Structure 1
Amino acid sequence: MSTTPGGSKRNSSVAHIEEDESSEHIHSEHVSDHVLPESELPTGLKRHDSLDIESAKIRGHHGHHDTKDWGVILRLAFQSIGVVYGDIGTSPLYVYSSTFTDGIKHEDDILGVLSLIFYTITIIPVLKYVVIVLRANDNGDGGTFALYSKLCRYAKVGLIPSEQPEDREVSNFQLELPGKRNTISSKVKKSLEQSNFAKFALLFAAMLGTSMVIGDGILTPSISVLSAVSGLKEATDTMTEGRIVIISVIILITLFMVQRFGTDRVGYSFAPIICVWFALIGGIGVFNFIKFDPSVAKAINPKYIIDYFKRNGKDGWISLGGVVLAITGTEAMFADLGHFTVKSIQISMGCVVYPALITAYSGQASWLRKHQGLVADTFYKSAPDALYWPVFVVAVMAAIIASQAMISGTFSIIKQSLSLGCFPRVQVLHTSDKYEGQVYIPEMNYLLMIGCVLVTVSFRTTENIGHAYGIAVIFAETLTSGFMVVIMLVIWKTNILLVLLFVLVISSTEYIYLSAVLYKFGEGGYLPFSFAVVLMFIMCTWNYVYRAKYNYELDHKVSREAIKDIVVDSNIRRMGGLAIFYSELAHGIPPIFKHYVDNVPALHSVIVFVSIKSLPISRVAPEERFLFRRVKPNELYVFRCVVRYGYTDVRNEKESFEKILVENLKNFIQYDYGTEPQQGRIGDDDVAKLDQAWRTGIVHLVGENEIVSKPRSSIGKKFLIDYAYNFMKRNLKQSYNVFEIPHEKMLKVGMTYEL
């Protein structure tokens, strides 16, 4: 698990838990999906959950996602302009030059390309994302990871057997589903749950989407900054390609070096600049449209697309690799949804971004009708001379903003991958107390910087980078479409004819573009695949060992009978203090506990087994974060605790985890004994014993597991476990760093796992 402890309120709701001897060994996959609320349970009848929990029902904490206040919505719409649209907004810098790489061969080719741009922007960003995909948000959060998590909640397609029935009682766990039954939906869901291949395919697709977005985080700064800086060629003849590259590299290095200081969610800071940018490109577009050739408006007729392909054949198909750059950053609308609302994104796209982009491309097309030989420098040459410097300055600022948004997005998606066990543990620093999504990952920051510099120096022109950029963009979008088809069939229970229409209109359009960008594989298109291969190897290796390790602990967990025998064993000395054993195992006690006792025959007066667990939801309310159970008899003073986080949750740095844990444990004890006066007195005694143990001293016991392959393992398995996984583990953060455990209170327990 990647998430770190914390984030609880002092007066949190506490679950009432009673020990059930038969409950612990019943895994959640053997329990009905539907769990009755407490009011519907017969008197005296207990649920057989993994923790036998009766969770309190509270309102979900979804922030502004459900707001109906139009003042808030409009304010968020304004803020979203600065965060979401920097990438797609800077596309007019290079689309025409990337499309007509060999020059314009026929005057009407301009109309054909403009028509392609118009319908591509209308079909994919507007129709697919704004109208359809945004509705698939996960409690206000978006992105490929959110889609995968949503599927894992509705269908049992997760590969880690850590599900617990009480997880479904978290306030934002439940999905709002159509009331109608659907035979196709039931069949598809059943097929997914029964097929290991389907489960692996979904996880693989989620990881591949993550890899492509990370690749996008390398290519966006390179192409955006390079294309903006290239405008200096218009100011002076001495500005050579080499000098442009050097200036771009300096800007990129500076951009990455300031990441460590953190960047607050940039709504009010960046939105005015991007608004000025859209006003400039839209205004210049209207000016050029009126001045040069208003007849380009007839490009709204798709006939010009057909004529374009008839004239150019294969070359026209290849040129689609440039047209697709008009929709770069579209995925950001969905991925950054968590900081805004669906309505705010829809308003900003419909009222500002879409009109500005269409007028910008139309104006450039009008200008090109009179200046066909200058297509390589369309953007800056089409701007009026009097506006050159304002346009240049705002273009560079917009490029930096677009780059910043993608870098921040890359950090966020890596943090999400950590919670799925799909990425090696890295240091995640939260850089803002005001905005909960702002994180900085030092290791990835420097890797991204090196990648951006190498790409800029090696490829040198936006045309060459564009070949790679197009693949990263369209590949991520096709993966989102694939997830959407599954969600429409399984969760939304959409009519099969509408699903087919989605595939025919949207998915087929994306696959046509994908085929075109793959044609340029040898001219730079291999770059995102190279990134993806390396990242996928890292992610698949880590996830494979992560799952194998979890299943090993599940198979070798310590039974409750053994725990009781250990605790009451007279040869094992009980000493004062509180001991916290950390584990990722959500079901039972990990084998490392018995290993510890066998080597150190002494136990503290109060023992708490803590499992840090990520749920397939974006966030867990602090009131629902801690689940406790008490191991019987009570005189043992042994507790189990599952601490649940969503994949976007951040830890509370204001209080230490041990303090939050102890306070919640006190509340649990008091609630557990609070029904009868006499029992209440017993509860007070137990709280006093817990306080005494805490004051005496606390020790955090963390497993330092050595993972090795079995002696008779295959060569491939030996390589993955003994070399690849252990190399990553040795060179990256360990669990105790991630959990922020004080070193002076930490005790590492070593144990070898043969997988």
Structure 2
Amino acid sequence: MEKRDLVSEEVVYELFSFIFWTLTIISLIKYASIVLKADDEGEGGTVALYSLLCRNAKVGLLPCDTSTNEVMLYEERSCSKMKTHSRARRAIEKHRICHYLILFLALFGSCMTIGDAVLTPALSVYSASSGVQRSLTDIFNDIYASSPRTQESVSKALKRYVPIPSACVILVGLFMLQHYGTRKIGIMFAPIIAVWLLFAAAVGTYNIFYWDVKIICKISPLYIYQFIKNIDLARWRLLGSVILCVAGSEAMFADLGHFSKKSIKITFICLIYPLLLLGYAGQAAYISKNLKAPDSNHFSQSIPSHCRHLFIVLSLLSSAVGSQATITACFSIINQCLALNCFPRVKVIHTSKKIHGQIYIPDVNWLLTIFSLTVMLGFRDIVKIGNATALAIISGMLVTTSLMSLIIALYWEKNLMVSACFLVSFGFLEAAYLSACLLQFHKGAWYLVILLVVTMTIMLSWHYGTVKKYEFDLQNKVSTEWLIDISPGLGISRVPGIGFIYTDIVAGIPAFFSHFITNLPAFHQVLILVSFKSIPVPYVPESERYLIGRIGPKDCKIYRCIVRSGYCDHIRETGDFEEQIIRSIGEFISIEQNDIESMVSPDERMIVVGNSTLDGNALVALDEVDSSMGQTPVNNESQISPVDETLESSSRGNKRKKVRFMLPENSPKMQVSVRKELLELIEARESGSAYFLGQSHLVVRGGSNYLKRFLIMVYRFSEKNCRESPVALKIPHAALVEVGMVCTI
């Protein structure tokens, strides 16, 4: 807020009362006590809330083949919890508009988190740099007290060369540190933020006793009543700045993937909350007695003169630390959106092997850097940046309140009155703050709207394009009988090796592969149709990840593999998917005959593999050997000819290790037919692999409306500039076969 807004002591007391109760109600009660309990197996944020709703009510709009719903992991876990007679659930599931509204809220909240990650670093760093400039100016004014002309020249030089340049350097340094990961950054930053909070609380305590001890009594709600009683447009605008006191509350919830729920709650309740109150109380005490002093509402001015040097150092360091939570929250939200097909593919680096949620996204990190620098250099005004930040904070909180009310009713299965009370109680307070922030729209808040339009357009267009492409694949797929029956008629020959066919559909044959066979009548000795399915759970255990089935009779040797993953699983970093799929199919072949009861699909028999004990009746992986050396293991029935790995070695240009398989030495329980099929699988594996990938190009049908054309245009641009491949496997280029298809929608 600006200096002229604080016209009397009473206004300062009233705003301090607002700060106290806002921090208590929103940060302490809502987030620390209630919202943190709504984690999705340790993950937080709006997307985590959305995934909980998808699992506990049929509101999902994400691409998913309904023919395999009965084997999806999230439905197995949630069906037992659902109340089939819940009127609220029936009403939400019945109306399609509710599904779109919930998805829009989740994406809107994600956009607000991204906006907060852009604005908060710029605000905190620029504010600290401005405080440093003020403190240095006061120091030099004391030194050159006898020379007013020197004071003026020094003041102008400091104002020109300290705030913006130092803020730019700190911002760039902050974002450059992100690739070290949350754990290493936390070890580095935790002592700094602890010292800063203690320093701010100590200064606040000093100001309370030095300027106005009675400030503690000003937390009375009577001051809020007095503020509302004398309300006018100018006083209402002041609330837009008050909401900045709870900045970081939404990031605290979104950061659950980086830190444990218990550690966040204990740290906030026992350390951050009381120290923040002391700091705000001290600053309010100082401002109330220094209304006529220039810049009295800036924290740096309330620092005692003998602590100015320590303040300069701590403020510069803590400005970077204060932005860390919003940056990591942004990484978490985008990673969740990636898995749910609501954000273009970008490279995600997992920085911790123990804590799965600790991630780093290089492309997003540098985009945040550019946008933060643009905001700071473009506005050069703390008040305008603060107005945009306040709007981002309160908008994200309103989304969380709305989704939490649904969580209370549908997931926690509380009475509708409890859900309504939560929505009204917190929603009314946040709506009031939102209206105050919107009054500052022309003073910087408009930038957030532009950022929202850009990010929301990208997310919606990617989701829309993904859904349309998936629907096209479903409508143009061919039956498995077509592949089996047409082979003799077309004279299709089977070539040695394994063909991996990557497709989004989990039933039938994808259109691009039927197009390929029609023009080139040949496919491999063993065919494996692989589908990667992300489901709305954080993690899928390795033992439940692979779902294997058979297509057609055994003689065809055609299998289907569905790889299921949660929105926080880092499957793209696994380079041995081919070996895992082969091992899973071997396990499927071994248990198929003896486990007919576990077949869960009526059309294609499917089994969840990875959790059974076969007593040596499946494939055995040999130690890794150097394929470029041409070493071949020798072991009774699995002895075969040397491997021809020309395709794989040429794609690497150097040594490449590959897992080899064989039958177990002692397997008396293995049936003859099973042994034969496993040997054929090993032989095909040794003959080499080829990978078929469909490249669908979306084309808008003539006469379509402008909005549809625009969304597809944005989708095609995003797809063209994606930094990650559409499938998780690291496919050798020499063995990759891309089949182009034109999808007219």
| TM-score grouping bracket, smaller chain normalisation | 0.7 to 0.9
Listed as ranges, the gaps of 5+ residues in structure 1 are 1-97
Report the alpha carbon displacement of residue 454 of structure 1 after superposing the two structures with TM: 1.0
SS of the residue aligned with 1:735? coil
Range moving further from structure 2, 482-491 or 707-716 = 707-716
Q: Deviations over 1:25-73 (max 9, x none)?
A: xxxxxxxxxxxxxxxxxxxxxxxxxxxxxxxxxxxxxxxxxxxxxxxxx
Relative distance call for 1:529 and 1:638 in structure 2 (3 A) is same
Alignment match, 1:608: 528
Q: Is residue 129 of structure 1 aligned with residue 48 of structure 2?
A: no
Report the alpha carbon displacement of residue 390 of structure 1 after superposing the two structures with TM: 2.4
In structure 2, how many angstroms separate the alpha carbons of the residues matched to 1:446 and 1:390?
Answer: 31
Q: Is residue 635 of structure 1 aligned with residue 555 of structure 2?
A: yes
Relative distance call for 1:257 and 1:347 in structure 2 (3 A) is closer
Alignment match, 2:708: 717
1:274-423 aligned within 5 A: 274-311=193-230, 313-374=232-293, 375-423=295-343
The 8 Å contact of residues 207 and 285 in structure 2, kept in 1 or not, is answered as yes
Match of 1:231 among 107, 128, 131: 131
In structure 1, how many angstroms separate the alpha carbons of the residues matched to 2:15 and 2:38?
Answer: 31
Report the alpha carbon displacement of residue 168 of structure 1 after superposing the two structures with TM: 5.1
In structure 1, how many angstroms separate the alpha carbons of the residues matched to 2:211 and 2:244?
Answer: 25
The 8 Å contact of residues 20 and 219 in structure 2, kept in 1 or not, is answered as yes
The 8 Å contact of residues 175 and 366 in structure 2, kept in 1 or not, is answered as yes
The AA in structure 2 aligned to 1:638 is: I
In structure 2, how many angstroms separate the alpha carbons of the residues matched to 1:578 and 1:284?
Answer: 70
The 8 Å contact of residues 55 and 74 in structure 2, kept in 1 or not, is answered as no
Match of 2:742 among 742, 745, 752: 752
In structure 2, how many angstroms separate the alpha carbons of the residues matched to 1:488 and 1:562?
Answer: 48
Report the alpha carbon displacement of residue 674 of structure 1 after superposing the two structures with TM: 5.7
The 8 Å contact of residues 481 and 552 in structure 2, kept in 1 or not, is answered as no
Relative distance call for 1:433 and 1:314 in structure 2 (3 A) is same
Alignment match, 2:59: 157
The AA in structure 2 aligned to 1:215 is: G
Relative distance call for 1:175 and 1:379 in structure 2 (3 A) is farther
Report the alpha carbon displacement of residue 750 of structure 1 after superposing the two structures with TM: 0.9
Relative distance call for 1:378 and 1:258 in structure 2 (3 A) is closer
Number of residue pairs matched? Answer: 652
In structure 2, how many angstroms separate the alpha carbons of the residues matched to 1:257 and 1:300?
Answer: 41
Report the alpha carbon displacement of residue 171 of structure 1 after superposing the two structures with TM: 10
The CA RMSD over aligned residues, in Å, is 2.4
Alignment match, 1:693: 684
Relative distance call for 1:739 and 1:201 in structure 2 (3 A) is farther
Alignment match, 1:525: 445
The 8 Å contact of residues 296 and 302 in structure 2, kept in 1 or not, is answered as no
Report the alpha carbon displacement of residue 214 of structure 1 after superposing the two structures with TM: 0.8
The AA in structure 2 aligned to 1:742 is: P
Alignment match, 2:661: none
Q: Deviations over 1:607-626 (max 9, x none)?
A: 11011111011111111111
In structure 2, how many angstroms separate the alpha carbons of the residues matched to 1:609 and 1:753?
Answer: 21
The 8 Å contact of residues 111 and 296 in structure 1, kept in 2 or not, is answered as yes
In structure 1, how many angstroms separate the alpha carbons of the residues matched to 2:482 and 2:369?
Answer: 52
Alignment match, 1:188: 88
In structure 2, how many angstroms separate the alpha carbons of the residues matched to 1:748 and 1:110?
Answer: 67
Q: Deviations over 1:460-498 (max 9, x none)?
A: 122110110010000000001111111222222323333
Match of 1:555 among 467, 472, 475: 475
Range moving further from structure 2, 108-117 or 248-257 = 248-257
Alignment TM-score, normalising by the size of structure 1: 0.82
SS of the residue aligned with 2:319? helix
Q: Is residue 617 of structure 1 aligned with residue 519 of structure 2?
A: no
Match of 1:680 among 645, 668, 671: 671
Alignment match, 2:428: 508
Structure of greater Rg: 2
The AA in structure 1 aligned to 2:533 is: K
Alignment match, 1:221: 121
Relative distance call for 1:212 and 1:278 in structure 2 (3 A) is same
The 8 Å contact of residues 674 and 680 in structure 1, kept in 2 or not, is answered as no
In structure 1, how many angstroms separate the alpha carbons of the residues matched to 2:228 and 2:161?
Answer: 36
Report the alpha carbon displacement of residue 429 of structure 1 after superposing the two structures with TM: 3.1
Relative distance call for 1:170 and 1:483 in structure 2 (3 A) is closer
The 8 Å contact of residues 74 and 536 in structure 2, kept in 1 or not, is answered as no
Alignment match, 1:450: 370
Match of 2:733 among 728, 733, 743: 743
The 8 Å contact of residues 699 and 746 in structure 1, kept in 2 or not, is answered as yes
In structure 1, how many angstroms separate the alpha carbons of the residues matched to 2:491 and 2:80?
Answer: 55
Range moving further from structure 2, 293-302 or 661-670 = 661-670
1:22-61 aligned within 5 A: none
The AA in structure 2 aligned to 1:154 is: N
Range moving further from structure 2, 741-750 or 320-329 = 741-750
SS of the residue aligned with 2:383? helix
Alignment match, 2:40: 138
The 8 Å contact of residues 264 and 434 in structure 1, kept in 2 or not, is answered as no
In structure 1, how many angstroms separate the alpha carbons of the residues matched to 2:351 and 2:703?
Answer: 47
Alignment match, 1:252: 171
SS of the residue aligned with 2:162? helix
The AA in structure 2 aligned to 1:256 is: F
Range moving further from structure 2, 573-582 or 689-698 = 689-698
Alignment match, 1:662: 582
Task: Considering Cα pairs closer than 8 Å and 6+ residues apart, tell me whether 1 or 2 has the greater RCO.
Answer: 1
Report the alpha carbon displacement of residue 656 of structure 1 after superposing the two structures with TM: 2.0
SS of the residue aligned with 1:752? strand
Relative distance call for 1:522 and 1:117 in structure 2 (3 A) is same
Relative distance call for 1:242 and 1:162 in structure 2 (3 A) is farther
Alignment match, 1:730: 720
Report the alpha carbon displacement of residue 255 of structure 1 after superposing the two structures with TM: 2.7
Listed as ranges, the gaps of 5+ residues in structure 2 are 138-154, 596-616, 618-667
The 8 Å contact of residues 170 and 620 in structure 1, kept in 2 or not, is answered as no
In structure 2, how many angstroms separate the alpha carbons of the residues matched to 1:393 and 1:173?
Answer: 52
Alignment match, 1:88: none
Q: Deviations over 1:613-663 (max 9, x none)?
A: 110111111111110001131111111111011111112746422122222
1:68-217 aligned within 5 A: 98=1, 100-159=2-61, 160-163=63-66, 164-167=68-71, 169=73, 173-174=77-78, 177=81, 186-217=86-117
Report the alpha carbon displacement of residue 351 of structure 1 after superposing the two structures with TM: 0.6
In structure 2, how many angstroms separate the alpha carbons of the residues matched to 1:167 and 1:128?
Answer: 36
In structure 2, how many angstroms separate the alpha carbons of the residues matched to 1:410 and 1:730?
Answer: 23
The 8 Å contact of residues 332 and 359 in structure 2, kept in 1 or not, is answered as yes
In structure 1, how many angstroms separate the alpha carbons of the residues matched to 2:397 and 2:565?
Answer: 28
The 8 Å contact of residues 567 and 636 in structure 1, kept in 2 or not, is answered as no
Report the alpha carbon displacement of residue 563 of structure 1 after superposing the two structures with TM: 2.4
Report the alpha carbon displacement of residue 513 of structure 1 after superposing the two structures with TM: 0.1
Relative distance call for 1:683 and 1:396 in structure 2 (3 A) is farther
The 8 Å contact of residues 69 and 75 in structure 2, kept in 1 or not, is answered as no
Range moving further from structure 2, 461-470 or 411-420 = 411-420
The AA in structure 1 aligned to 2:563 is: V
Relative distance call for 1:222 and 1:508 in structure 2 (3 A) is same
Q: Among the aligned pairs, what percent are the same residue?
A: 36
Range moving further from structure 2, 196-205 or 267-276 = 267-276
Alignment TM-score, normalising by the size of structure 2: 0.83
The AA in structure 1 aligned to 2:192 is: I
The AA in structure 1 aligned to 2:477 is: K
In structure 1, how many angstroms separate the alpha carbons of the residues matched to 2:559 and 2:577?
Answer: 16
In structure 1, how many angstroms separate the alpha carbons of the residues matched to 2:174 and 2:724?
Answer: 29
In structure 2, how many angstroms separate the alpha carbons of the residues matched to 1:735 and 1:685?
Answer: 36
The 8 Å contact of residues 138 and 617 in structure 1, kept in 2 or not, is answered as yes
SS of the residue aligned with 2:679? helix
